[in-house]
Every structure is written in structure tokens, then in C-alpha cells.
Amino acid sequence: MASEQSELDRITRLIGRYLLTGWTLSDEACPNKGCDVPLLRSKDNSIWLCARCDDSNSKPKSTTKMEPVETYESFAPPVESIDMEQDTPEEVEERQLRRKQSQLAAQSIGERMLQGWTLLDEICPNETCYGASVPLVRSRYKKKYCVICQKCYMDEPGLDSDDKVDSESDVLREASMVNRGAKEVHRINENDAEFILKDFANIREDIKSSGVETRTIVTLKAKMEELREQLENEHDIGNINELCQSLQSCVTALVTIEELIFKRHLAVGKTRK
């Protein structure tokens, strides 16, 4: 059991690091026998990677080879590599807008995935979402949704207007529920992440209470939002590393909580049968 938990921790930490550097978690599972970990996709879609099997068993679409992620700075592009003198003001503004939109999309998608939404391998067709930038997510109502333009997309032909209004209302209601956790940021102090990790073993024992689950998830989500905002404004590489490690710890804790909840639901289902 301890070795399984250690392996889960390793996988979730690695997935968290890749997501922080712009990779996408796809809805396609690793094809290797006995491995059902979702594959990660690089920014340019040229590399597909399994966080459990690492690069040796990944399925790249090109001959490009990527070493396993060890530190945040290994993915951070050097500032001097960007030649600003060759860019027009319009290009600079567009690049900044793209970057801001990507950060917003990553944050919003992450929040929804923590609430049970599914990340789809489909891109929003809306041109205002900068073409192939924003992947769609699917709610528990099976409605596709873009976190940037906030439009709903339906697969079912012949859907009448009333159904469209209801489905969009359902999705927006879920989106509102997801965003509530981020509004708790002002209640979190700088010691909360350390406190959560130190006492996480006790939280596992008390996780039977749905109230504890909710409070823990909200606290972790709020702390992740606070850390994300600090990361955007931080330039010292040492502080960046510490912030990334704190984010990864929060991701690991959230994944473990979700796993415990899922296993308990399975156990309850078997008991009822």
C-alpha cells in the first residue's frame, strides 16, 4: 500500500509540473498494458507523454525527445531569447493577450476539473479564442463549454432552443459553483499550505465527513489560487521553485482526496448491491 501511494504521489507531482509549463492533460489513456494514466500532450501537439511510463514508453508524433521534468527552470524560456526589437506594437499586444488568455484558461480549466468536469481533446471553434488555443471541457450534464468565450456546444442534432437555454444555464450554474472556492483566498494565510501537508495524514482519517472534504478542497483550491497569483508576479528563480513546489503539493493533496472519495463511493455501491 505504501509503495502504491508513493507511485501515485510521483505521478501526480509529475503531471502537476507538466501542466504548470503549458502541457495539456488529454482524455486518452496510456496504451501500455496495466497503465491507465491519461496522456500528456505538448504545446505544439508533437509529443505525447505518460507520466507513469515516462519518455521511454511515450508515443511521440515526431522524433523529438523530451527529458523527464525535474525543475521548473528547465522549462522556463530565457528572457533574452525573445527579441522584442523585431516585434511591432501590435504583435507585442497580441502576444500579451494570448498569454493572459492562456493563463486564464489554464486556471479555469483546472478549477473545473477539480469539480468533476472532463477536459476534452477538442478546441473551441470561436475565433476570439485564438484558434487552436482553448480546449473545451464537458460538465456532468454532458454539455461542452469554453471557459474563455463561455459558449456551450452541443453534439445532439435537432436540439430545440429551450433545451439550449436550459443546458447553458446548467453549465453556467456549475461554473459559478466552481468559482466560489477561489473567492476564499483572503481567508488563507501563508502557513496554510504547510499546515495542510503536515496534518494531511489526520485529514485522511477524518475524510469520512463530507464537511471535512468540502472544507479541505475549498482551502486547497484557494491556496492554489493565491500561489498562482504570486507566481505570476515573481521573478526570483528560487522563489519560483518554492511556489511551484507548494502548488505541486496542493495538487497532490487534491488528487489524493478525490481518489479517497472515489474509492469510498465504489465501496458504498458494492455494499448496496
pLDDT digits (tens, 9 = 90+) for 61-101: 433 334 444 433 444 444 444 444 566 888 778 777 777 77
Cα dihedral sign for 199, 200, 205, 208?
positive
- Pairwise CA distance, residues 248 & 262, whole Å: 21
The C-alpha cell at 139 is 460538465
pLDDT tens, 17-41? 777 677 777 767 788 887 777 888 8
Exposure string (b/e) for 167-176, b if CB count within 10 Å is 16 or more?
bbebbeebbe
- Is the pLDDT at 269 greater than 60, yes or no? no
Burial of 251 (0-12, 13-18, 19+ CB in 10 A): buried
Neighbours of 21 (CB within 10 A): 15
The whole-number pLDDT of residue 3 equals 64
pLDDT tens, 181-212? 444 433 444 444 444 444 444 444 444 444 55
Cα dihedral sign for 65, 71, 75, 81?
negative
- Pairwise CA distance, residues 201 & 189, whole Å: 21
- Find the range with the poorest average confidence among 37-46, 49-58, 118-127: 49-58
